Amino acid sequence: MSQTAPVVTRFAPSPTGYLHIGGARTALFNWLFARGRGGKFLLRIEDTDRARSTPEATAAILKGLEWLGLDWDGEPISQFARKDRHAEVARQMMDNGTAYPCFSTTDEIAAWREANPRQPFLSPWRDRTDHPDAPFAIRLRAPRTGETVIADQVQGDVRVGNDQLDDMVLLRSDGTPTYMLAVVVDDHDMGVTHVIRGDDHLTNTARQIQILDAMGWPRPVYAHIPLIHGEDGKKLSKRHGAVGLHEFAALGYPPAAMRNYLARLGWSHGDDELFGDAEARDWFGLEGIGRAPARLDFKKLEHVSGHHIGAMPDDQVLAALQDYLVETGAPALTGTQRQRIMGAMSVLKEKARTLPGLLDQARFAMIERPVAIDDKAAKALDPVSRGMLTSLTAAVQNASWSRDDLEEAAQQVASENGVGLGKIAGPLRAALAGTSTTPSVFDMMTALGREETLARLQDQTDLAG
């Protein structure tokens, strides 16, 4: 492949289910490689398996890519819609002698395999010209000697003895193309220069190279990336928790954090762990991909997620929160709730690792009066504490409502009652939020504003008598 050719990558999922986290990473790698070089990133839906492919799965894949923030060039290509082109190439190969008609029946092939276990099928029709008037498949006339070498940018040179490969079927007897043929034809017609995919496809690549060579087409650059394993080092599965991209979205990880984290799963740029899209596009290269399987680490993901939430502008975090609520079917934020959350956003972002975690901290801003008090927080609201809240209410009535003045007023009330500030913070937290785990009480007061804060305090001080 010419080094001066514009870079064209592709992501080619099968629409048989949700977008797996491994598939999302493959799409990201292709996107980063193309976008970092001013190239094109194409999307092909490999829907030739009509029994398993569904429109719902296709929609889920597109939605997952859009959520992750990966844009593609042009319209998604349906592999099934190109079946006539695939068949045309198979017949062209038969005409030029690089493929041949095979009239072996299914029973004959099964009998041969039983008699020759662990041997590639050798069709008796490879060199025959006495063709009957009967349905036939078209098989590749593969080389019998030598080896096929895959020059892989991650795995190195992978050599496969040609005597280990059979003359694979290109076109079935019913006229439908096989996956192997369709992939090669589509990649060639789409101008794909770099095939970046999981190393579970490595065994297919030698066969696909033989088709390319038979057609005299240039080989793309191959890069087969190791799969993602769970934290226990075993192949990722449901037992490890979330494996679908939609599950990570539902857990509240922002798309920017997922892009950062997925980029580091199997690829590295020195010791850099936390970065944005611009750095990722500039840095990403095939030479940075390791050969060992990457391990999914939820603690590291939360660390990356917390960094990105903290770095996002406040209005973008608010927008992400609203998108998350819509995605999970929760009620949208009201204008008042948005205003209160924005008032405390700088504080809420400090400890948040996920969007639902931030929402938990923002609960005080989302609830309405009368505030429901949970059992643990209610223990802080004894008659003595409510009395201090009465004093605090009077002390802050005419305060400037700055954080410093509110804290000074609370400190004064605590001193007058001969207690530390913590003794008043507990009941104040309960009155404002109804729970014992919240941001700073003074940050809550500034976010809620004078009127709402005094009303919540009054609700509790009315119970003091």
Binding residues for ATP: 238
The residue from 238, 299, 300, 379 that is catalytic is 238
Task: Count Cβ atoms below 10 Å from residue 392 Cβ, excluding itself.
Answer: 23
DSSP at 79: S
Task: Count Cβ atoms below 10 Å from residue 321 Cβ, excluding itself.
Answer: 24
- Look at the block and give the residue holding tokens 């913070």: 425
Tokens found for residue 176: 């439908």
Question: CA-CA distance, 275 to 257, in Å (whole number)?
Answer: 9
The candidate with the shortest Cα–Cα distance to 31, out of 262, 306, 231, 273, is 262
Tokens found for residue 134: 């009967």
Half-sphere exposure of 46 (CA within 13 A, CB side): 16
Annotated binding site: 238
Tokens found for residue 89: 């190439």
Tokens found for residue 153: 């940018």
What are the C-alpha distances in Å from 352 to residues 9, 68, 251, 346, 355? 36, 20, 13, 11, 7
Question: CA-CA distance, 302 to 280, in Å (whole number)?
Answer: 19
- Is 63 in the active site? no
Question: CA-CA distance, 454 to 406, in Å (whole number)?
Answer: 12
Beta strands in 12-51 (DSSP E): 40-45
Q: Which residues pair with 126 in a beta bridge?
A: none
Residue spans of alpha helices (H) in 312-402 = 314-327, 335-351, 355-361, 363-366, 375-378, 383-396
Question: CA-CA distance, 310 to 347, in Å (whole number)?
Answer: 10
The candidate with the shortest Cα–Cα distance to 219, out of 229, 208, 230, is 208
Q: Which residues are catalytic?
A: 238
